Structure 1
């Protein structure tokens, strides 16, 4: 590709889409933004389709906290309970484990996440107030559901109490008045809405394709979360439309219902385009948090093991090697539950809806450096993340151009690859790292020893792929291995459904091993049944993956 990335074109897209303000799924603003994306694709000569479907959407409407007649500004939380216009009243208290908080409005630090809301409700609280780290207030959601709810029993899991966030200063005022009665208004909406989702495609010479996704719905203007990502996709579409047809195609998906729908758009697409994705998708490249002003640290994240070395080499070649302190900072910021697994591996969030299909993937975000005064504590995210302050001037065209170059190289190394750059020895190392924690917690758990042994067999067999001659058969084998392994690595339940919650760990089906030693006898017996079945599932995936390699490269074949 010889055509040049245009910072002006990139930032022009960001400014145009910011002008629509909040782009709530199913709103007139979403329709206008969708039309603007379509107009640019038309101008670039890229064919696209706008998918229309119903999504379960939630958003805050009116929110405030009143203390002794003084009204403090507040931001509501999607998918929490609606107070109605009357609001609720209760005594201010800290959320502490084991306390009876009946009738209280509780205070917590940070964001109003699901676990905190449910702990407060269980303790009897009538509302929750989260206290920000600074003067800003963040828009967030508190749902454990991934995508559209699959039944009334899932809707019943949503927080039964209202929640808001206040600024750090107003939080200090509230903390100084513990025990005082406070009034809390938190009107929220939950409803099925007709939404729009554009998906464009540049066809390749062969039927396989790379999927790129970026959400275009926003809480407010949303310059860096995530209109810069939308601009990046459009710029790559412009460039590839001008160039020679690649070997493999590229699909550009503009997700809707990101947080307001619990990743409604990407999960809908995974459900409705599943056959094409399963048969032909090479990888999913998620584009979220790019072009951030001052964000010079390129954070590789949401990367599956088999693409980790390739993705890291691309980032280093374009943006340079991260200093050790920045690498350590990125790893600290990318929190997950696993004790030994690389934190850059795929997480449960940010439209990561394709693990059940088995897609490999990667994401590169622009993080503020460790020394920056503008990032949220222990996070590379800027303080304006998901706030009303995320306006067009928060996006740096030069940084966005560099981020676009990173993704351009990531895409190019996949869509014109003679041999796909997958290394499953790294995936095997991830599996062993995950199993190490489970084995330490429950060395006698059913299947753990067998899994470790089978993973080592797979790792040794996968090493032979490095010497395999490039061929269509090799690439097909690499993709089939991903279809076997990634669902088990990232889903505890079915490959066709989504686990509840956002907790992130590899081989989540084996998580009962971590508490096995502390369970009462009967519960431990039942947990062992679960572990045996989950171990069997993982063993089957590993054996099938190993068999794929042995079929391609018999032992007596010269590598």
Structure 2
């Protein structure tokens, strides 16, 4: 394409100006205070970033909304006459003043057994919501997680965003606390010496709070602001709230957002598409309350104009040398791979977009790229074992032993790695905003969907027929492949053409990643490909009556999927006809 070199020139210029030391200075300014969601300290950090972006010439808007957040206060464990220190977690149940007393059941790394009922479960690892939910199903009265040298702050609910009335019953019902490995060893020693009961105390401040949300727009010439425009845009987002000082999580990411925006603003005349920065609250203490509210409040805008979502979280950490496995979609993989290869020489494989990290827009069909870009190599440490692969692929060892702890301070950042990560984001955003034809691949998204559907069909044969759905998916793939060929032959792409191409692809992203339709948020739990047909994977394990009931649901969901695939074919054909 005729202007790909100019887009590359801009990417080179933006990347060259991003300095690790400058990004460290920005991080220091942002992470001076603990930024609990809805707190005065967090509000000051929002104002600091707003002033930075105002000075860079972006059009900013600081808005507020109600969000349901949970701030852990204090916790302790009492065994006989001995009191052991602990922390509790966001959206854990609180205990009555006398605490919760029950017999201990030590399961280590294992799944709970029959003795878990009405017991205080003692588990190795980090208090992840999937484990908390599993333990509650086993009947636990309370839960204690034994971490490594430090305790890791966690949100233990899988409810995505602020709860609707029907969601409150899904929130954790048991108190959940964590202790260090040293305290855990002492606890186990007391049990081995004959302690018959444990008392768990947990205090949590949970409720509705007024949360800030900062939007900052950088638009091409001729567009005064996105709110007065119908132009497509790229969303670049990260959370500002933190556990403790949160220099890496997420101060370093916020610094990169500001740094990239400052440098890209110098090339505004060459921009083809607008960039919208979004800084969320409620990520750490409300299971992505900010981004979920934004998805609901601006549903139509996002589902008609947002052509890509680039997320950033916890970049530049010491030892974060793995760049192969960050999340991506087939439609965005190439864009990310180019930037990563240029700055690191690594080959980006990508991982499936997971239900984590403010991925609040997949149900709207928004292509997504990145979250935690750089991670630690796998190791045999307790922390690596506990959260390796949590936010990306299985070849990673997590975000560092200091993640979600009091030790997440400025000294845990590496200036060279922060510069590398910043440059990768700078190149990615320059490519998305400045390339003559947006670097998205709807054909790859369609090809992947067909592959996933065929694999699913093999699992559910002979009980459920997906042959007609496969035929429709193949037709959608052919239509988007032809549309992509048309795009690649053109020297540039108008806003209208890009919107129509994006509209044609959206249903495939929704079907591939969302199980609850376009107006709801799935829980923060692992979802298989094409989650609306998840029941089809288990048909062979069901008895005859269960299978008959499951097929009722599957037929209805197949009808929905078929209609969405027909819409892809129609939309792609109409786009080619009017191009």
Question: TM-score, normalization: structure 2?
Answer: 0.87
2:330 to 305, 314, 324: 305
Report how far residue 240 of structure 1 moved: 2.2
Matches within 5 A, 1:157-172: 157-172=170-185
1:87/1:184 contact within 8 Å kept: yes
1:514 to 521, 527, 537: 537
CA distance in 1, matches of 2:485, 2:442: 13
Does structure 1 residue 462 correspond to structure 2 residue 486?
Answer: no
For each residue in 1:220-245, what CA deviation from the matched residue of structure 2 results, as whole angstroms up to 9, or x when unmatched? 11111111111111111211223333
RMSD, aligned CA: 2.4
From the superposition, tell whether residues 5 and 161 of structure 1 become closer, same or farther in structure 2 (CA, over 3 Å).
Answer: same
Report how far residue 47 of structure 1 moved: 2.0
For each residue in 1:59-85, what CA deviation from the matched residue of structure 2 results, as whole angstroms up to 9, or x when unmatched? 211012233433332221211110144
Does structure 1 residue 357 correspond to structure 2 residue 364?
Answer: yes
CA distance in 2, matches of 1:118, 1:291: 32
User: What's the counterpart of residue 154 of structure 1?
Assistant: 167
CA distance in 2, matches of 1:73, 1:434: 48
User: What's the counterpart of residue 127 of structure 1?
Assistant: 142
User: What's the counterpart of residue 50 of structure 2?
Assistant: 38
User: What's the counterpart of residue 234 of structure 1?
Assistant: 258
User: What's the counterpart of residue 5 of structure 1?
Assistant: 18
2:81 to 53, 69, 74: 69
2:449/2:508 contact within 8 Å kept: no
From the superposition, tell whether residues 49 and 438 of structure 1 become closer, same or farther in structure 2 (CA, over 3 Å).
Answer: same
CA distance in 2, matches of 1:319, 1:403: 9
For each residue in 1:12-50, what CA deviation from the matched residue of structure 2 results, as whole angstroms up to 9, or x when unmatched? 2211222212x1111111111111112212332322111
1:59 to 46, 71, 74: 71
For each residue in 1:464-510, what CA deviation from the matched residue of structure 2 results, as whole angstroms up to 9, or x when unmatched? 23431333254233211232221222211120111234223221010
User: What's the counterpart of residue 278 of structure 1?
Assistant: 303
1:121 is paired with a residue whose SS is helix
User: What's the counterpart of residue 248 of structure 1?
Assistant: 273
**How many pairs were matched up?**
535
Question: TM-score, normalization: structure 1?
Answer: 0.90
1:356/1:487 contact within 8 Å kept: yes
For each residue in 1:434-492, what CA deviation from the matched residue of structure 2 results, as whole angstroms up to 9, or x when unmatched? 32442233113445222223223333333323431333254233211232221222211
From the superposition, tell whether residues 411 and 443 of structure 1 become closer, same or farther in structure 2 (CA, over 3 Å).
Answer: same
Report how far residue 194 of structure 1 moved: 0.8
2:280/2:290 contact within 8 Å kept: yes
From the superposition, tell whether residues 43 and 347 of structure 1 become closer, same or farther in structure 2 (CA, over 3 Å).
Answer: same
Does structure 1 residue 367 correspond to structure 2 residue 380?
Answer: no
For each residue in 1:378-409, what CA deviation from the matched residue of structure 2 results, as whole angstroms up to 9, or x when unmatched? 42321111111111111222211211111111
Does structure 1 residue 109 correspond to structure 2 residue 127?
Answer: no
Residue segments in structure 2 that go unaligned for 5+ positions in a row? 1-9, 224-230, 389-396
Matches within 5 A, 1:102-501: 102-132=117-147, 134-151=148-165, 153-176=166-189, 177=191, 180=195, 181-205=197-221, 207-245=231-269, 246-322=271-347, 344-363=351-370, 365-370=373-378, 376-377=384-385, 378=388, 379-468=397-486, 469-470=489-490, 471-472=493-494, 474-501=497-524
CA distance in 2, matches of 1:550, 1:445: 34
For each residue in 1:142-181, what CA deviation from the matched residue of structure 2 results, as whole angstroms up to 9, or x when unmatched? 1121111111x31111111101111223223333425622
CA distance in 2, matches of 1:211, 1:403: 18
1:60/1:77 contact within 8 Å kept: yes
1:542 to 550, 553, 565: 565
1:447/1:531 contact within 8 Å kept: no
From the superposition, tell whether residues 410 and 375 of structure 1 become closer, same or farther in structure 2 (CA, over 3 Å).
Answer: farther
CA distance in 2, matches of 1:372, 1:36: 40
User: What's the counterpart of residue 93 of structure 1?
Assistant: 105
1:389 is paired with a residue whose SS is coil
2:144/2:176 contact within 8 Å kept: yes
1:15 is paired with a residue whose SS is helix
1:315 is paired with a residue whose SS is helix
1:300/1:363 contact within 8 Å kept: no
Report how far residue 522 of structure 1 moved: 3.3
1:73 is paired with a residue whose SS is strand
From the superposition, tell whether residues 374 and 418 of structure 1 become closer, same or farther in structure 2 (CA, over 3 Å).
Answer: farther
Comparing 249-258 with 481-490, greater Cα deviation is found at: 481-490
Report how far residue 371 of structure 1 moved: 6.3
